[in-house]
Structure 1
Amino acid sequence: MTLLIVVMAAIAVAAGLWLTRPLWARATAATLRRKRANVIAYETRVAEIDADVAAGTLDAESAQQLRDEAGARLLDDAAAAAEAGESAPRRRGLALALVLLLGALAGLGYWLEGSWRTRALIELAQRDPQAAEQQMIDGMVGQLERRLKSAPDDAQGWAMLGRAYLVLQRYSDAAQAYSRANALSVAQPQAEWLIAAGAAQGMANPQRDLRPARPLFEQALTLDPGNVEALWYAGLAALQADDAAAAYAHWLKLRELSPPEDLAAILDQQLPALAAKTGQTLPPKPAAAPSGVQLTVHVRLADALRAQLKPGMTLMVFAKAENGPPMPLAVQRIASPQLPLSVTLDDSQAMMPAMKLSAFERWVVTARLTSGAGAQALSGDLEGSHPASRAEAGSPLELVIDRQVP
């Protein structure tokens, strides 16, 4: 690190010296040349005056007056040359000041954007990983916002910004960003962006009203009829609009796709009532596909945190790839749990076909007791984590909730 600082400083100084080299030039040679030229001009003028006097074309009084004027001009020129010579130190002082300013600006830029910021972020991550993650997200969101100001027609950029806003639970901003992305991709609409725009609109509404976003979900299903999220949101929007037939059709198809366990539990509760309301016979539930990987997690709460347990807390148990994308690969949500308990995570709980437990070799399993309804950790939540590998998939994993989110 010290060697890098020295090298960067040397480069900054060298660049400053090169850029200000005209200000370092010495004025001595130019000043002497000017003085000699002035003396020669004076002597030549005096010789001309003397020649005119000798030829009788100029009287002695006029000749003396002309000699005095030439002498006065010589003195004025000499004074100007002296001032030019005296200004050289000032120019060198200005050059030195510019070099120092350039070095200071380079150092400031390095401080603000370089390794000091990275080191500070690493130190923060060691103390508070969630705060470091939040700082990184905020920084990336700020960079993306600035980039989109100069490139407002970047549909992919607006979708990325909308996804970031959703992570930050800035739902109104997310809805606007996804709406911009969808407006820029009318020729080639993206089902995921349409779904995200509709979901963000609903979450931005205090009543979680999805009815205004219903056309977005239907358009997404036209593009991708088997999209799990689109079927879920389309059915929920239809249910809010008292369209039981549409809600039943969407959710019946969703059940056939083996959705995550929390959605499957809601479908098992709602579909019989919707079938009865629409006068239809609910077909038997399809057999669950065998899971490629299964993790059995035994969750308990550390004795030191029992006083922090609040009534009505929800237990979330989820697994993420140890070296992979930040989204969960499998999630279980249990309301008002009685700890200790055992939870099973498997491929049937994947939100996306390519993002499931069996696609990775190592995971980090986290159990969180939260008072919120979202996936983001809140201050005061209780959680614990444990790494796991494919070799441990056949044995129960002991996971202790042993820390409180600051």
Structure 2
Amino acid sequence: MIDFWLSAGLLLLVALAFLLIPVLRGRKAQAEEDRTALNVTLYQERLRELEAQREAGTLTDEQAQAGRDEAARELLADTEGTQRQVGVGVLGGKIPLFSAILVPLLGCALYLHWGAIEEVEQVRSFVQQPKSIEEMTARLEASLKENPDSAEGWYFLGRTYMAQERASDAARAFERAVALAGRQPELLGQWAQALYFGGNKQWTEQLQGLTDEALRADPEDATSLGLLGIAAYEDGRFAEAIGFWERLVAVLPEQDPSRQAIQGGIDRARSQVNPDAAAAAPQAPTAEAATTEGQLTVQVYLAPALKDKVQPGDSVFVFARAASGPPMPLAVKRLTVADLPAEVSLSDSDAMMPQLKLSGFDQVQLVARISRKGDATAGEWVGNSAPLASSTREAQQLVIDTAEVKGQ
């Protein structure tokens, strides 16, 4: 904000110049006027002296007249080029000075009351890409404190909470979004989903009412169909789960990577409905196998030199981030040092945020970080790979061997 206050200060100086320059000019004119008055007084005294000397007989009439003429010439020389200023009195000098003091104070007071310094700081902060999902969450929370009536802000905050597995907080955010934006199907579905996972997957009349209302308004609401399928499957109502998921698959785009996972769930539900038929029928690819093409396989190792410097319980975060793009991880897996060496797979299903997926970036970088505090954004030791294509099929080896540099 330094540039903002510098600009404001320069504008203030310009405003003060309009007030103070006339005052300074008036003082100069006053000084000239005072000097002229002094010269006139000295001239009059000189005339009185000459007259006294003439009466005393010291000077003749001609000498006295010559003295008076000389004094008059000196007075004219001293006052030549000066102009008498009228109207710059005590009142004319005090008003500009008082205004010069009042303008900055009044300007600051008015800006603090009607200004938008918080909005300026907020816009400047949002220009920079967040370095982690936690930073994004903090920004959204700060934004909503200043603008609590933003339905869009509450919606995105709820989605961010869900990505952090904070379902109860997400439910409150979606409830607020519904109150502001109205009972839109997408919002109702997201609210119901957050309530379901925040309530230990217990189905309630409230959840049924929300999903029913959402599907009445939009029979193809993906969130509600997916949630109803999950709830039916968890409750052992496999035929209902198949029905909901088949409706969901029918409305998803062909290129949507979640189609394969949902199809795998349908196949598992069918095997529960009719185990004999499922055993006899050709096995459809599972969700895990179907998404292999969209995965990166990473083999993570710990450098031998670090074995005595880490503890078995230290967290290990293995993630992929865009080689050129937002710094937030696209897919993350969490291990411990005791699990190393280990092989992990990163795919779109491991995305921290739904809109940031591996498949959306051509080049990615693999990172493995050891953090004793369990912080995915900072740790003690790290291993990085060179940029590689997100469609790479070969297993990549990643060795944790470098001391963490702050801000890496």
Q: TM-score range by the shorter chain?
A: 0.5 to 0.7
Query: In structure 2, what is the Cα distance between the partners aligned to 1:175 and 1:260?
Result: 23
The number of aligned residues is 331
Query: In structure 1, what is the Cα distance between the partners aligned to 2:116 and 2:105?
Result: 14
One-letter amino acid of the structure 1 residue matched with residue 173 of structure 2 = A
The answer to whether structure 1 residue 197 and structure 2 residue 171 are counterparts is no
Evaluate the alpha carbon distance shift between residue 391 and residue 216 of structure 1 in structure 2; reply closer, same or farther with a 3 A threshold.
closer
Task: Name 2:273's counterpart in structure 1.
Answer: 275
Cα offsets for 1:200-222 (capped at 9, x unmatched): 223443x3535442444566667
> Could you tell me the TM-score, scaled by structure 2's length?
0.54
Moved more, 300-309 or 99-108: 99-108
The answer to whether structure 1 residue 308 and structure 2 residue 308 are counterparts is no
C-alpha contact 2:164 2:352 (8 A) present in aligned 1: no
Tell me which structure has the larger Cα radius of gyration. Answer: 2
Task: Name 1:388's counterpart in structure 2.
Answer: 387
One-letter amino acid of the structure 2 residue matched with residue 177 of structure 1 = A
Partner SS for 1:307: coil
Measured after TM superposition, the shift of residue 271 of structure 1 is 3.6
Query: In structure 1, what is the Cα distance between the partners aligned to 2:296 and 2:198?
Result: 35
Task: Name 2:170's counterpart in structure 1.
Answer: 174
C-alpha contact 2:167 2:197 (8 A) present in aligned 1: yes
Identity %: 28
Measured after TM superposition, the shift of residue 246 of structure 1 is 2.3
Runs of at least 5 residues in structure 2 that lack an aligned partner in the other structure: 31-87
C-alpha contact 2:233 2:241 (8 A) present in aligned 1: yes
One-letter amino acid of the structure 2 residue matched with residue 138 of structure 1 = A
Query: In structure 1, what is the Cα distance between the partners aligned to 2:353 and 2:118?
Result: 39
Evaluate the alpha carbon distance shift between residue 170 and residue 329 of structure 1 in structure 2; reply closer, same or farther with a 3 A threshold.
closer
Task: Name 1:36's counterpart in structure 2.
Answer: none
Counting only pairs closer than 5 Å after superposition, residues 152-191 of structure 1 correspond to structure 2 as 152=149, 155-166=151-162, 171-182=167-178, 189-191=184-186
Runs of at least 5 residues in structure 1 that lack an aligned partner in the other structure: 30-83
Measured after TM superposition, the shift of residue 143 of structure 1 is 2.0
Cα offsets for 1:369-404 (capped at 9, x unmatched): 79999xx84998987554523299355433245678
One-letter amino acid of the structure 2 residue matched with residue 141 of structure 1 = E
Query: In structure 1, what is the Cα distance between the partners aligned to 2:380 and 2:215?
Result: 37
Task: Name 2:99's counterpart in structure 1.
Answer: 95
Task: Name 1:13's counterpart in structure 2.
Answer: 13
Task: Name 1:57's counterpart in structure 2.
Answer: none
Task: Name 1:234's counterpart in structure 2.
Answer: 228
Measured after TM superposition, the shift of residue 286 of structure 1 is 2.5
Evaluate the alpha carbon distance shift between residue 19 and residue 362 of structure 1 in structure 2; reply closer, same or farther with a 3 A threshold.
farther
Task: Name 1:142's counterpart in structure 2.
Answer: 142
One-letter amino acid of the structure 2 residue matched with residue 98 of structure 1 = L
Task: Name 2:67's counterpart in structure 1.
Answer: none
The answer to whether structure 1 residue 365 and structure 2 residue 379 are counterparts is no
Measured after TM superposition, the shift of residue 361 of structure 1 is 1.9
C-alpha contact 1:377 1:405 (8 A) present in aligned 2: no
Partner SS for 2:343: strand
C-alpha contact 2:358 2:390 (8 A) present in aligned 1: no
The answer to whether structure 1 residue 341 and structure 2 residue 332 are counterparts is no
Measured after TM superposition, the shift of residue 198 of structure 1 is 1.9
Task: Name 1:62's counterpart in structure 2.
Answer: none
Cα offsets for 1:196-252 (capped at 9, x unmatched): 2123223443x353544244456666746594x555532332345554442354467
